[in-house]
Structure 1
């Protein structure tokens, strides 16, 4: 832990904010170049006097739209440093240094059910964080490129802020299943991305950013409370949007393992379309063997309905189907008639 403390102190001393704001969309290439220069860093070791720059935030304007990417690393460094001295108070420290600052700044209520449980292995969390810092240039480029590709296809209105955080090492099983990236859209302005370096690949981050971007645009014009059918199709729309941008990326939750799985999922959905019960939505996300529902059934069936919709309505624009009511999507997809 002494070596870890030394490293953390070096990083904290050298902590600098990397932000840049351009009002000119035509200068996006210059923005990227400056971002790369600002986020460049060197290794800090016990025998090296070169101080490491830790990324903080980066703002840019693209097509008249404002984006900010916040690398939420400083607060995690503070949590790790304090955790060494107050191991018996990890939960309180985590709420104080991580949960409350985000919640207050972004006006959201963070739930531990969405990957915000208290990390109890500060050494391993420090390794995660250091890996993110070491790979900052790659991560930054992937996020910015995906945001721009998304905006090219679907122009947003509200400003977008993306928080990048290390995942909790104790969530390793879940993070491995989602290929190292867990993402959540809190409202039309705010996305959180949690990255687990041991399981991370570039495709998962690109797909996640595009997927969540579609959610933010949907939330600009729609309420964030919905029936089971709406719950299913919001994920189907976002996955379809991401596949349009990255057609070669196939995520593990996209497809049913068998026609029987699909048939049973459709049966349960058909019987509960208008339900707003959290329990049935959880069944569709987590899976429920007693009902014949696989894990991530909401994504799988949402994708299938959207595939049918696109095939039946190739001329309806992304803008239009992103905002289109779920029951209209289902009707125009003719999915029910085919199954």
Structure 2
């Protein structure tokens, strides 16, 4: 698998210079001009519809951004690429098109506090890694997040490019995330994502009962609530990720011979049916 790393964060210095000069343009327009427009067509090149909602958010705190850029400049891109290639060899993607991995600065406080400053996104095969290097241990989480998003790239290629797609229900979304974390955890067993916290037995029963009614829904209106959590509905942070991981790991415990490559081809309904999490 050919992987190309691009570093839009390097262009942020131009954004900072124009902001400090008191450029009359809106800050978001400047951010778009320097960090989005030069790269977005390549990042989203395989998307069949507009993905503008996934564009990395602008950063207006210039002092913080400068601190971030000085730390991000220390990234050894060649070593990082070697690590990404190592990850890809653990889960081959039989595709001639290279994967682009774009590294952006990030200033989201939730990401800093709960995700070690590193968040990822898969844009129909290509990958964005949004990094706040002011967070603890951010360097070691970049490969984990790449592994998670790379799995999405392979999963999507299998089901949507080679096999015409699935139903688009919440179960598929949840199992996709569960497989991605299981794969990344297999490569980095010493890292423990906060979003995969352990539930008590009573919590598992309570929250699973809340998720079950939506599993086969294709109405994406509530997907974020059940995946990322919603306090008003009594759903803890990242509850969908927790159960995606639990269901996938339950399936793998009863099918230890199944590789991650083989697992991708197992239908999400089969994974659920052969786990301990019953309807």
Give me the TM-score of the superposition, normalised by structure 1: 0.72
Q: Distance in 2 between matches of 1:110 and 1:97?
A: 18
Match of 2:207 among 265, 268, 285: 265
263 and 196 in structure 1: CA distance in 2 versus 1, 3 angstrom threshold: same
Cα-Cα RMSD = 2.2
Within 5 Å, give how 1:1-339 maps onto structure 2. 65-85=1-21, 86=23, 89-106=26-43, 107=45, 109-112=50-53, 114=54, 116-133=56-73, 135-137=74-76, 141=79, 143-158=80-95, 159-167=98-106, 169=107, 171-188=108-125, 190-201=126-137, 202-223=139-160, 226-336=168-278
Matching residue of 1:17: none
Structure 1 moving runs of 4+ over 6 Å: none
- Give per-residue Cα distances to partners, 1:125-162, cap 9 Å, x unaligned: 122111111x222x653x33442332232111232110
List gaps (5 residues or longer) in structure 1.
Answer: 1-64
Give the conservation status (yes or no) of the 8 Å contact 2:158–2:264: no
Moved more, 273-282 or 293-302: 273-282
Deviations 1:201-254 (A, max 9, x none): 133222111111111111112238721101111110000001111122111011
Higher relative contact order (CA 8 A, sep 6+): 2
Secondary structure of the residue aligned to 1:156 is: coil
Question: Matches of 1:248 and 1:227 in 2, distance apart?
Answer: 32
Return the offset for 1:279. Answer: 3.1
Contact 1:261–1:294 under 8 Å retained in 2 = no
Segments of 5+ residues of structure 2 without an aligned counterpart are none
Quick check: 1:146–1:209 contact (8 Å CA) kept in 2?
no
Contact 1:185 1:191 in 2 (8 A): yes
Counting matched residue pairs gives 266
Distance 1:263 1:145, change over 3 A: farther
When Rg is computed on C-alpha atoms for both structures, the one with the higher figure is 1
